[in-house]
Structure 1
C-alpha cells in the first residue's frame, strides 16, 4: 500500500530537521550544502531581528564605503588616460573595483546585493513573510542609496581639488555605465545579482578571512571586467555623473537605478536563494 503524501507542515518539519542535523564533511572538512544553507538562514534571521535604525545605519555605512571603490576607479581612470587606450583602462579598473566590497563584507555592513539571497532564504524556509522581506529590502536599499548620494557629492568635490581626477572623468564613467539599452542593463543586472548571491553563498562556505578576501576579489573583479551592472556601485557612478554633467539626465539616472535594483534582486533571489534552497528540499524529499 503506497505511503500517503506528507502534509506541508510535515514537509517543513522534515526540512528543518535535516537542516538542524547538517554537518561538515568528516573527510574533507568542507561545509555541506545543508550546513551552508543553515548558516545562511541563521544569518538572514539575525538581520531580520535587528532594530530598523540599526539596519538603516549599517546600510548607510555600506553606501558610503562603496564610494572607496568609486574613488579608486576615477583616480585610476584619470591616471591612465592618455597613456593607455580607453577600452584597456576600462578593463584595468577591475583591479581596484573590489576594494569597497572587501571593506563592506569583512566589516559586516549591509549591502543590498550581498544580502539579497541571504534575506530571501528565511522567507523560503517559512520563517519570515514576503511582506517582511520587502520591508527589509526597502530599508537596506534606502540606506545604500543615501550613503551613495552623500559619498558622490563628497568625491565629486574633493577629486578635482586633490587633482586625482576631474569632472570629465566622472562624466565618462557615468556615460559608460548608462549607454546601453534598458533590456541590456536589466539582464546584465540579473547576472550581477546572481554573482553577488553566489558570493554570499561562497563566503558562508569559507572558513578563513584570506579565502573570503580572495572570493570577494574574484567575484567583484568579474563584475567589473565584464561590465555587469551593480546597482549600488552604479548608483554612485551615475548619480555623480548626473550632479556634475549635462550628459546624464535625471531620467537616465532613474531608469538605470530602477532596472539595476530589480535585476540584482531577481538574480540573487531566484538564481541563488531559490535554486539552492529547492535543490536541498528535493534532496530531503528524495
Structure 2
C-alpha cells in the first residue's frame, strides 16, 4: 500500500513536473520536430503524395473565401477591417491543412530538413520528400483553382474582377521582389512548424496558425502553394498569362525554401543545440538509429 507520505511526494512531483511543462524548452521542441520530420521522411511515396494532394486541395479554401469576401458589398467598412477579414479568410485554408495534419511543402522545408542537419537522414531522402509533397501540393492547388473559378463565377458568389485582383496582387512585381517576399513567407511557415510543436492544446494551435498565416496574407507575402491557387484563379479566368504564373511559382518557391531552411531550420537547430541539447535525453538519436525506423515501415 502507498503511504500518505508517499502519496504526498508523488503529488508534489507531479505538480513540479506540470510547472516545468508550462512552456516547452527549445531542446524538447527540437526533439519533437526531428521525430516528426523522420515520420515524413520514412513514409511511403504514395502516402506522401496523397497527403500532399489533400493539403493542396484544402489550402484552396483560403483564397476562395478571400474572393467571396472581396465580392461581397462592404461599403462603409474601414479598409484595415476589410484587410483583416480577408487575411482571416486566407488563414482558414491553412487551419484545415495544419489541424488535418496534411503534408504542406513550406512546412517540410523545416520539418524534413532538421533530421538531415542532425545526421539522421540523407539529402536524397529529403529531396524525395520535397519533390513528392511539392508536386502533389501544386496538383491539388491547381485542381481546386479550376473548381473555384467555375463554381464561383457560375453561382455569382465571386466577381471575375476580384479573381484578377487577387492574382495580380502576387504577379505584378519584379522577380527579386517575389523572391524576397517568398523568403519572409517561408520564414513564417517554418516558424509556424516550430510554434505548432510548442503549442500545448488545439486552441493555442488554432490561434498560432491564424496569427502566422494571417500575417502572410495581411502583408501580401507570396506563399508558393496558396499563391498557386491565387494566381491560377487569374489564369483560369483569363486575366493572367501562364508565363506570369511560372515566374511567380519559381521565385516564390525558391524564397520559401530559403526562408524555411536558413532562417528557421539552421538557426533554430543551432540555437537549441548550443542551449544544451542532448539527443539521448530527448529521445533523439543520430545516424545509427535510422535502421530501426526503416524496419518499422
- TM-score for both structures, normalised by structure 2: 0.83
SS of corresponding position for 1:114: helix
Cα distance in structure 1, aligned partners of 2:176 and 2:32: 35
How far the C-alpha of 1:89 sits from its partner, in A, is 4.3
Match of 2:159 in 1: 166
> Any conservation in 1 of the 2:27–2:273 contact (CA below 8 Å)?
no
> Aligned-pair RMSD on alpha carbons?
1.9
> Which range moves more in the overlay, 167-176 or 152-161?
167-176
Task: Give the alignment partner of residue 60 of structure 1, picking from 42, 48, 53.
Answer: 53
Match of 2:10 in 1: none
Cα distance in structure 1, aligned partners of 2:100 and 2:213: 16
Q: Matches of residues 110-189 of structure 1 in structure 2 within 5 Å? A: 110-189=103-182
How far the C-alpha of 1:73 sits from its partner, in A, is 0.5
How far the C-alpha of 1:36 sits from its partner, in A, is 0.4
2:270 paired with 1:259: no
SS of corresponding position for 1:128: coil
Match of 1:100 in 2: 93
2:54 paired with 1:71: no
Deviations 1:190-220 (Å, cap 9, x if unpaired)?
Answer: 0010011001101101110000000000111
> Any conservation in 2 of the 1:80–1:89 contact (CA below 8 Å)?
no
2:274 paired with 1:282: yes
SS of corresponding position for 1:97: helix
How far the C-alpha of 1:135 sits from its partner, in A, is 1.7
How far the C-alpha of 1:92 sits from its partner, in A, is 3.6
2:217 paired with 1:221: no
Task: Report which of the two structures shows the higher radius of gyration computed on alpha carbons.
Answer: 2
> Any conservation in 1 of the 2:169–2:220 contact (CA below 8 Å)?
no
Cα distance in structure 2, aligned partners of 1:104 and 1:75: 20
- Residues 140 and 227 (structure 1 numbering): CA distance in 2 closer, same or farther, change over 3 Å? same
Q: Which runs of 5+ in 1 are unaligned?
A: 1-23
How far the C-alpha of 1:97 sits from its partner, in A, is 1.1
Deviations 1:105-138 (Å, cap 9, x if unpaired)?
Answer: 0010111112220110000001111122122101
- Residues 187 and 209 (structure 1 numbering): CA distance in 2 closer, same or farther, change over 3 Å? same
How far the C-alpha of 1:273 sits from its partner, in A, is 0.6
Cα distance in structure 2, aligned partners of 1:138 and 1:225: 29
Task: Give the alignment partner of residue 242 of structure 2, picking from 224, 245, 250.
Answer: 250
Deviations 1:265-286 (Å, cap 9, x if unpaired)?
Answer: 110111001001112233349x
- TM-score for both structures, normalised by structure 1: 0.86
> Any conservation in 2 of the 1:25–1:31 contact (CA below 8 Å)?
no
Q: Which runs of 5+ in 2 are unaligned?
A: 1-16, 278-297
SS of corresponding position for 2:29: helix
SS of corresponding position for 1:96: helix
SS of corresponding position for 2:23: coil
SS of corresponding position for 2:103: coil
